[in-house]
Structure 1
Amino acid sequence: MSPAITLISHALCPYVQRIAIALAEKGVPHDRITVDLAMKPGWFLALSPLGRTPVLKVGEAALFESAAILEFLEDTQPRPRHPADPVERARHRAWIGFGSECLNDIAGFYTASDSGTLERKAAALPARFRVMEGQLGPGPWFAGEAFSLVDAVFAPVFRYFDTFDRIGDFGAFNGLTWMLAWRRELADRPSVRNAVAPNYADRLSDFLRRKDSALSRLMPPPGLALRHSA
């Protein structure tokens, strides 16, 4: 009998989302527990050496760091999402690392303390995405017809912009035809939609407002809706 699997998550963590997507794509039965990282319970700190999500409990074992968890799922679960060819598999792993760098840029963007820094951080995003544009084709996924772990990693990247686009026009995808098409396809994927709770967008908006950053100062006061994106 296979050991029980539990995903320990945070409501907004993009690294949790990539694991949730992979579990769904592979059809892995699992439980999910959400923790408040502002008030980390002792049992969680005992499982997570870095005090971060995700953590995947497999029986009595606790796995941390999303890249390691994705590889564990590839090694042990059906429906592989890495290419079979070793060179292509290594290339996909490298682009997963690139996706993590995009998330770092996004964090720098929404935490920028002043408008000048915000502009510089905003300019870094389309530069990253232009690099990624060069790797894409007709799709619908990163590797064409096959949904891969690279897709699972970039879905949370794109999800941020559902909120950012309602705050202002930061031009992250200007002229990037393939990136926009990929973003739309991922937004419609059931595993991607279900990786977060229905109130994710509201929670993200509240999180951004509390940052007291240059971006938060562009947002309307609580109680007033963000503008509708095109």
Structure 2
Amino acid sequence: MTLELMSHHLCPYVQRAVIALTEKGVQFERTYIDLANKPAWFRDVSPLGKTPVLLVDGTPIFESAVILEYLEETQPNRLHPADPLDRARHRAWIEFGSTVLNDIAGFYSARDEGAFRARTDGLTEKFARLEDELDDDPWFAGTTFSLVDAVFGPVFRYFDTFETIGDFGILANRPRIGRWRRALAARPSIAGAVTTDYPERLRDFLVRRGSHLSALMT
């Protein structure tokens, strides 16, 4: 079996797949796609025109949640709990993580201060809810790294850059999230899911958005 992951340098959903593949010890190739200038062949394998896409012996699988589930079914070192109820709970929190990513996109794309503050408040509320879900263990599910951890590693990576722009208070007074965030950042699979120039690429992307956050940066 040959695995090739169609990637984009900034895509957090690509990072999920990279983290899962790395945690499972699976060999794969990574091909970067310029989403602003998609090659014709990419449109053939990605019906939605998005990354990630995993080519399995040339057969495309698209959408990160589907890719993660496929890897769970076919590769070693399972990252989902064995218990069906726990597994369902984890899937629900993965969906929560996707909603947080949508809110982050709204945060950095907000055109004016009012919209920006609304997005800030929305993110603050979501992380307050997440703080209540955590305990004092290093990972979401205690001492075992799971797919929920793989999902939130890319989420917190955004804040490494956001916090160089301003103090927005989104993660303030969240000790359990702070502990989890530090553990995730130190995890080799998460640190290695992006290229070393990721912070510079993200800052350039944010400046070019023409948003309220862009104005704060310039």
Identify whether the pair has TM-score above 0.5, normalized to the shorter chain: yes
Aligned residue for 1:141, secondary structure, equals coil
1:63-121 deviation line (CA, Å, top 9, x unaligned): 00000000000000000000000000000000000000000000000000001111111
In structure 1, how many angstroms separate the alpha carbons of the residues matched to 2:206 and 2:171?
A: 21
Code of the residue aligned with 1:140 in structure 2: it is P
Q: Would you say 1:180 and 2:185 are equivalent positions? A: no
Deviation at 1:125, TM superposition (A): 0.9
Structure 2 counterpart of 1:55: 53
Structure 1 counterpart of 2:66: 68
Structure 1 counterpart of 2:190: 192
In structure 2, how many angstroms separate the alpha carbons of the residues matched to 1:201 and 1:45?
A: 28
Structure 2 counterpart of 1:161: 159
In structure 2, how many angstroms separate the alpha carbons of the residues matched to 1:75 and 1:199?
A: 33
Query: Identity across aligned pairs (percent)?
Result: 58
Runs of 5+ consecutive residues of structure 2 not aligned to the other structure: none
Aligned residue for 2:72, secondary structure, equals helix
Structure 2 counterpart of 1:129: 127
Alignment size in residue pairs: 218
Structure 1 counterpart of 2:44: 46
TM-score (norm 2): 0.99
TM-score (norm 1): 0.94
Deviation at 1:123, TM superposition (A): 1.0
Question: After TM superposition, which residue ranges in structure 1, 4 or more long, deviate above 4 angstroms?
Answer: none
Runs of 5+ consecutive residues of structure 1 not aligned to the other structure: 221-230
Structure 2 counterpart of 1:23: 21
Deviation at 1:60, TM superposition (A): 2.0
1:3-30 deviation line (CA, Å, top 9, x unaligned): 1001110000000000000000000000
